[in-house]
Amino acid sequence: MYSLIVKMAWKNSFLRPARTLLVVAMITVSMSMMLGIQGLYDGMAENMIDKNRRSGSGDITFYAKEYRVQKDLKYRIKNASAIKDELKNMQGVKSVVLRVRADGLLSTARKSSFSFMQGIDIKEENHFGRFSEFLKEGEIKLENGDAVIGLELAKKLKLHIGSKVVFSTQDVMGEINSVALKIRGIVQTTNIELDDGAIFIDIKDIHRFLGTSSGDATQIAVVCKDEGLIGRLQTKYGGLDVKSFLELQPMMKMMQDIMFIFNSITFFIVMSVVFVGIFGVMYVSILDRIREFGIMLGLGMHYKYIRLQIFIEAMFVGLIGYLGGAIFGAILLIYLRDYGVDLSSFSDALEMWGYEAIIHGTIKISYFTTTFVAIITASLLSVIIPLRKIKKLNPIEVIKAEK
Amino acid sequence: MIKLQNVNKYFYRGEPREVHALCDISLTIEAGEFTLLSGPSGCGKTTLLNAIGALDGIDSGEIYLDETEIGSLDEDARTTLRLNELGFVFQAYNLVPVLSVEENIGFVMRLRGFSDEEIRRRVLEVAALLEIDNKLKSLPNTLSGGQQQRVAVARAVAAKPKIILADEPTANLDSNNSQILMNMMRELNEREGISILFASHDELIMHSVRRVITLNDGILINDHKL
């Protein structure tokens, strides 16, 4: 009997092929567009988070207590090298870097700006977060008075490759010191703090400049595979301020949440369209065939089998639309992942907020599984009202009406 | 087999336009009978047929199908009763448009859970009897009215119900097709032993049946065997 019900459902789904195909096309187009938008939103957020993670705090960051409030060299981690060696040997830790930061004033002959100097080991930074990939202009060269500068800071001070600057700050003894630097490269990390205010030099040079010991650091950043590691590190290094990426970058968390809200709204709108589309086609289809259902009831077909047939019909329409949407959506997502959307005409505004001018999408299996569940649910819900009409149907009225 | 005791049915009960559609009807129809419910339009034939077919309720009295009192059954049990015990032939054929003739004939059998082999064998048998065995793969909308009505009869007969209720089965057919259909139904009645109860005012049916029950204004006024 079930094979008969499935057969009737399939044939009835295409009783009016133009009407059904219109709804299928509507689901296909709206679903593939929704997948594309989801992929782009998530791609924007993930790209920004990834770059912030790679250029900044990693997954976990260590500071000395009070450093994040005072930003003073006296709150540096004095045994940072030893901690780094311990961390490197820990299971789940992929990479560790030490950084030394000094806040100060960066000046050219005409302009100056508050900024900070960050001492880094370029070899380790490349292993940690592929720092060289952030290069926008020039080269990554940090030795012997050479420096690399953040894009927005360079724009602010009108600096170019080869420009000379002076950075002044207080050293570890409290004395004001200055160093002359030559800009060799301009980087864009999309980490607003770095792009707006950082000038990078070699970590050995900054130790010499500030008078700190080579084992000291203001920050230890860790990339790890184990999400549970932070708890163990917080316990082990209780004397330090151990923070996760999202604790240090609440903006990123907020951005993730905003993207989730955007995606949810888009999802809700598209599912409403799917619901209304299937509801419309099923409602009209059932009204068209009300006599047929009345006769079936009259012949002794139980309501539960008619209900099953209608559910299957709605599912066929939803599933075909889903398959179309999934295929076109996947093609769109692959295109967006590989080629992205070029928003170069808005690049200034986008870069100011830490976005790249070319936005690449991302692809997640969850897009397809969630949409599948939602479309099936929308299909099933959309026939509840039409089914109530059949439930109330009196076969005699239908038979009489045909006389 | 079918026994009606003091059956009463009202429409618009309690309203000024109240109609007493069936007035104290009592009768018995034995197994294998070939009977007509006759009378002018609006006399209550279809109402009585629907009551016997568990399609409609009554206001008082009792209707027994063998030992089962139909009025005491809930909607679900009535549906099961219609499926297992009764066959229906309607004026407008009412075939399932997306199913082939073969599938339409086997429709009730499939609902009742007969095996594929049983259905196939029985469909061929009944289709041959009704001379539609060359149309088994056709869709209903490709058949003439007479052929469609024969498919409807085949559907009613295939699952071997205790009784077939046929409401104006010849109303949409010309006299030639009506005659063919009646001959076939009579043959089915004789060969299969299935009781058939018609509701019609067609003279042709009146001359084919063996018993005529006449109603007028909901009252049984005549019941005679031919």
Mean confidence (pLDDT) of chain A? 89
SS3 B192: helix
Q: What is the mean pLDDT of chain B?
A: 89
Does the beta carbon of B77 lie under 8 angstroms from any beta carbon of chain A?
Answer: no
Assign residue B122 the CATH number of its domain.
3.40.50.300
Q: Do A299 and B90 touch (CB under 8 A)?
A: no
Q: Which of A139-148, A243-252, A265-274, A346-355 has the lowest mean pLDDT?
A: A346-355
Nearest CA in chain A to B110: A1
pLDDT higher than threshold 90 for residue A20:
no
Task: Please count the structural domains in chain B.
Answer: 1
Chain A: closest CA distance from residue B141 (Å): 13
CA distance B105 to B150: 10
Query: CB distance A396–B55 less than 8 Å?
Result: yes
Of B50, B56, B99, the CB nearest to A8: B99
* Residue A26 contacts residue A270 (beta carbons within 8 Å): no
pLDDT over 80 at A30, yes or no: yes
Q: Given pLDDT bands bounded at 50, 70 and 90, which one contains residue B90?
A: confident
A·B CB contacts under 8 A: 73
Q: How far apart are alpha carbons A93 and B132 in whole angstroms? A: 80
pTM higher than 0.90: no
Q: For residues A60 and A94, what is the distance between their CA atoms, to the nearest angstrom?
A: 11
Q: How far is B82 from chain A (nearest CA, A)?
A: 5
Name the phi and psi angles at A249, rounded to 5: -125, 70
Find which of A12-16, A371-375, B175-179 is predicted with most confidence, using mean pLDDT.
A371-375
The residue segments making up the domain with residue B221 are 2-225
- Residue A403 confidence (pLDDT) above 60: no
Alpha-carbon Rg for chain A, nearest whole angstrom, is 31
Residue B42 CB-density burial (10 A; 0-12 exposed, 13-18 middle, 19+ buried) = middle
User: Do residue B82 and residue A12 have CB atoms under 8 angstroms apart?
Assistant: no
Option in B90, B94, B111 nearest A1 (CB): B111
**Band of the pLDDT at A289, cuts 50, 70, 90?**
confident
Q: What is the pLDDT of residue A64?
A: 94
> What's the pLDDT score for residue A247?
86
**Coil, helix or strand for B118?**
helix
Predicted confidence (pLDDT) per residue in A337-346, tens digit: 999 888 877 7
Are the beta carbons of A299 and B84 separated by less than 8 Å? no
pLDDT of residue A203: 95
Instruction: Choose the weakest-confidence range: A138-147, B180-189, B214-223.
Output: B180-189
Tell me the pLDDT tens digit for each residue of A176-233. Answer: 999 999 999 999 887 888 999 999 999 999 999 999 999 999 999 999 887 788 888 9
Nearest by CB: A8 against B96, B108, B171? B96
Q: What pLDDT score does A63 carry?
A: 94
Does residue A297 sit at the B interface (CB-CB below 8 Å)? yes
- Residues 6 or more apart whose Cβ sits within 8 Å of residue B178: B170, B202, B204
